[in-house]
A = this chain, B = another copy of it.
Amino acid sequence: MKILITSGGTTEPIDAVRGITNHATGRLGQLLAQLFLDKGHQVTLVTSPGSYRPEKHKRLKLIEVSTVNSLQNVLEHLVKDHQVFIHSMAVSDYSPVYMTDLEDVMASKDLSQLLKRHNHQGKISSSSDYQVLFLKKTPKLISLVKKWNPDIRLIGFKLLVNVPKEQLLQVARTSLHKNQADLIVANDLYQIKQDQHQAYLVSAEGYQTLTSKPAIAQAIYERVISNDKNHPPRCQR
């Protein structure tokens, strides 16, 4: 099978030297990619600079992206050409529009006008004690996947922080439904520590609890394989 995996986290530039980033190491994506390679599959790994990735392999194609926009461009093409998509990358949900001094913002009569401005400096320089950064929502890429390829099997991820288990599961079920995903891996940052990583694999049938990254990777692999046996693709490529 052709397996598409994203890992790591996007960084949205504020200027040429600064950006807003998601803390993500890419370790789970590395394990997933290695597992599918070991089992004889073709793997395309889309990841961010500096993230963990497997050693070079003849069946591994590695693509580095940094921003949400570059990720979208790469995925729109790749999703059409793969049978499975495991989207574990932490994608920025807001992207910088304009940064300026607090004084400028306070002096502005209509803040919405500031949203039309852009920083042209390579490095925004300021001697002001406070600065204000305006951010705009990015497109939810996971919601576009089944539009690009209705036949792809989609495994999404949901990371929350310090919420009750029931809330985490509910958010995962909503994402499952809204994005027509086959599986959502739901986890809470407070349950991720060194070698421990608690996650719930949420599908239409229920959920499964895992407690380490290797166990999560193995469980995802088994779901993908078993789904492949039960539901052969509608069209063979």
A residues near B (Cβ < 8 Å) are 11, 14-23, 25, 50, 90, 92-94, 97, 102, 105-106, 111-112, 115, 121-123, 126, 128-137, 159-162, 189-190
Q: What is the bound-complex CA distance between A94 and B131, given in angstroms?
A: 8
Q: What is the bound-complex CA distance between A113 and B121, given in angstroms?
A: 29
Can you list 11 A-B pairs with a CB-CB distance of less than 8 A? A15-B161, A16-B162, A17-B22, A18-B21, A18-B23, A21-B21, A93-B126, A106-B111, A122-B161, A131-B134, A132-B132
Q: What is the bound-complex CA distance between A62 and B34, given in angstroms?
A: 30
Name which residue of chain B comes closest to A123, CB basis.
B161
- Determine whether the beta carbon of A132 is less than 8 Å from that of B130: no
Q: What is the bound-complex CA distance between A122 and B190, given in angstroms?
A: 9
Name which residue of chain B comes closest to A171, CB basis.
B125
From B17, B130, B135, B190, give the contact of A90 (CB < 8 A).
B17
Contacts of A23 in B (CB 8 A): 11, 17-19
- Determine whether the beta carbon of B161 is less than 8 Å from that of A16: yes
Q: What is the bound-complex CA distance between A14 and B131, given in angstroms?
A: 14
Q: What is the bound-complex CA distance between A162 and B135, given in angstroms?
A: 25
Q: What is the bound-complex CA distance between A15 and B92, given in angstroms?
A: 13
- Determine whether the beta carbon of B123 is less than 8 Å from that of A130: no
Give the distance to chain B from A132, nearest Cβ to Cβ, in Å. Answer: 6
Known: A11-B23, A14-B20. 8 other contacts (CB 8 A): A20-B21, A93-B126, A102-B134, A106-B111, A122-B160, A122-B190, A131-B134, A132-B134
Contacts of A190 in B (CB 8 A): 122
- Determine whether the beta carbon of B102 is less than 8 Å from that of A111: yes
- Determine whether the beta carbon of A128 is less than 8 Å from that of B132: no
Give the distance to chain B from A138, nearest Cβ to Cβ, in Å. Answer: 11
Contacts of A161 in B (CB 8 A): 15-17, 121-123
Q: What is the bound-complex CA distance between A90 and B16, given in angstroms?
A: 13
- Determine whether the beta carbon of B130 is less than 8 Å from that of A162: no
Q: What is the bound-complex CA distance between A208 and B116, given in angstroms?
A: 43
From B18, B50, B115, B121, give the contact of A130 (CB < 8 A).
B115
- Determine whether the beta carbon of B14 is less than 8 Å from that of A18: no
Q: What is the bound-complex CA distance between A159 and B123, given in angstroms?
A: 9
Give the distance to chain B from A106, nearest Cβ to Cβ, in Å. Answer: 5
Give the distance to chain B from A168, nearest Cβ to Cβ, in Å. Answer: 12
